[in-house]
Amino acid sequence: MRILYFDVDTTRADHLSCYGYRRQTTPNMDRIAAQGVRFDNCYVSDAPCLPSRASMFTGQFGIRTGIVGHGGTAADPRCMGAARGFSTMNQRPGFIWSLRQQGYYPVSVSPFAERHAAWWFYEGWREMYNTGKSGNESAEEVVPVALDWLARHGKQDNWLLHINVWDPHTPYRAPAEFGNPFEHEPLDPWYTEALRQKQWQSWGAGSPREPAGALGARYRAGPRQPLEVASMDDYKRWVDGYDCGLRYTDMWFGRVLDALANLGVLEDTAIIVTSDHGETLGELAVIGDHQTADHITSRVPMIIRWPGQKDAGRVDRALHYQTDIAATIIELAGGKVPGHWDGRGFGAAFRTGTEEGREFLVVSQCAWSCQRSVRWAEWLSMRTFHTGLKKYPARMLYNVAEDPHLTRDLATSRPDLVLQGDRKLEEWTTAMLAGGAEDPLHTVMSEGGPYHTRGAHTEKYIQRLRDTGRGAAADFLQAHPTGLGEWIG
């Protein structure tokens, strides 16, 4: 059998048309979803990019590997120490090595390892094609490398091809000649002018005055991405730019499907479509970035079409970590999930078309802010240890079923649910740290806070606040380096 793993960076599930989005962003992915299973509640354990893929490909959560951030100690795996063996076969196998042990020939087309100095990512691959621009390349520079490999090897059996594209990530890079298929299509009505003005008058990395996380200087603009979101027209340009990135990616995904069909192997190829994290487009006052441990950033699309599957078009609504999906793929491929993994396989349930998920999930963010959140039933309880230079309280609570865009914080009106979330978080943390390792969230805090908002970044942003007439916010951040404290302004 063959496995295609299509890995789209920075893709929020609710902007795929097969997930109910009003715009037709992903017709080719929709076709695969109609033939396979769409997972509605798949979350990465650790966001964003580096810790997310670390969890997916090692099989363990960041609290156990130590990888929860983008820089500093918590961007590298913990040293194994005296238990480290001589070769890969003596180590703890991850996702790719486990599939390789089942006879698969794994190949990756991705600049991810270079972008994040994630050299552990190379474990297990037989071939690795680095497209060489550290994640700044577009699909037309990535997918042709994969198409060339398929032309040479696609008819062979037992391969896994990982294709990693970046077009939905800022800066939005769909070529000008692609146009804007959504130019005359309206936006979802949840983001209003009143909300934009409220966020404009506030502050925070990623807010309308500093979209895409610009801190000291303004983020570079482009034809699909304005410098600021100073009007609803600017906001529409921003959302259109993101959606164009998705549609452009989907077009290239379609070319991969066509190549498999022309080779005569499409029906015999398992297809997986997913992402490393989502992207907030105004939720929690962050536009064009992935800075929080929330429902939008941590939830990712997950579509699996497996050969011989009889329940085409099924929707799985159980709670899953993305790492659970990796474990399930190993089981479906005939392997056994390594005992040290945190990911749990549900291969038997997948084969019978039933749902088997977790009671609750804990998701983490330590690159832009320091947060851990608990997701259960319809609830998301967020615990903030460092705001990432934003205006957040220490605890937030949202009903994601009724308020998926996180506009109504219910923490003060439902303290019982906040307490319930705290208890689940404490239970999970105690279990994860039972071996005595240091909590990597504490490591991040001890080294100055989230990597993207520490040191000079903070100084530059405080100066920008003063330069833009937000001196009270600058004073607050100077007095409260974590962003937590009583706000009077």
In angstroms, the CA 146 to CA 127 distance is: 11
Radius of gyration over alpha carbons of the chain, in Å?
Answer: 22
pLDDT at 217: 47
Pair type for strands 302-305 and 269-274: antiparallel
Strands (E), 1-53: 2-8, 37-39, 42-43, 46-47
User: Domains plus CATH for the chain?
Assistant: 2-353 (3.40.720.10), 363-479 (3.30.1120.10)
**pLDDT (tens digit per residue) in 77-127:** 999 888 888 877 667 899 999 999 999 999 999 999 999 999 999 999 999
**From CA 232, how far away is CA 234, in angstroms rounded?**
5
pLDDT digits (tens, 9 = 90+) for 22-34: 999 999 999 999 9
Strands 280-281 vs 287-289: parallel, antiparallel or unpaired:
antiparallel
Give 220's pLDDT tier (boundaries 50, 70, 90).
low
- Residue 189: burial class (beta carbons within 10 Å; 0-12, 13-18, 19+): exposed
pLDDT band at residue 216 under the 50/70/90 scheme? very low
Query: Mean pLDDT over all residues of the chain?
Result: 95
Query: Tell me: the pLDDT tens digits for 237-285?
Result: 999 999 999 999 999 999 999 999 999 999 999 999 999 999 999 999 9
CA atoms within 13 A on the CB side of 322: 33
Task: Grade residue 4 by pLDDT with cuts at 50, 70 and 90.
Answer: very high
Our measurement of the distance from residue 335's CA atom to the centroid of its chain's CA atoms, rounded to an integer in Å, reads 26
Tracing tokens 């690795």 back to the chain, one arrives at 128
Nearest to 275 by CA among 303, 237, 243, 310: 303
* Per-residue confidence (pLDDT) for residue 92, from 0 to 100: 85
Q: What is the mean pLDDT of residues 464-476?
A: 94
Q: Is 12 helix (H, G, I), strand (E, B) or coil?
A: coil
Tokens of 337: 């999930």
- Contact by Cβ (8 Å): 410, 399: yes
How far apart (Å, rounded) are the C-alpha atoms in residues 339 and 200? 49
Q: Nearest CA to 160 among 123, 111, 108?
A: 108
The model's pLDDT over 307-337, given as tens digits with 9 standing for 90+, comes to: 988 899 999 999 999 999 999 999 999 999 9
- pTM here is 0.97
% residues pLDDT > 90 (the chain)? 90
| pLDDT, mean of residues 381-404 | 97
With helix as H, strand as E and coil as C, how does 373-414 read?
EEEECCEEEEEEEECCCECCCCEEEEECCCCCCCCCCCCCCC
In this predicted structure, the answer to whether residue 48 has a pLDDT above a threshold of 50 is: yes
Mean pLDDT computed over 333-349: 95
pLDDT confidence of residue 219: 58
> Where on the phi/psi map is residue 153: left (φ > 0), alpha (ψ -120 to 50), or beta?
alpha
List the beta bridge partners of residue 283.
Answer: none
Share of the chain above pLDDT 70, in %: 98
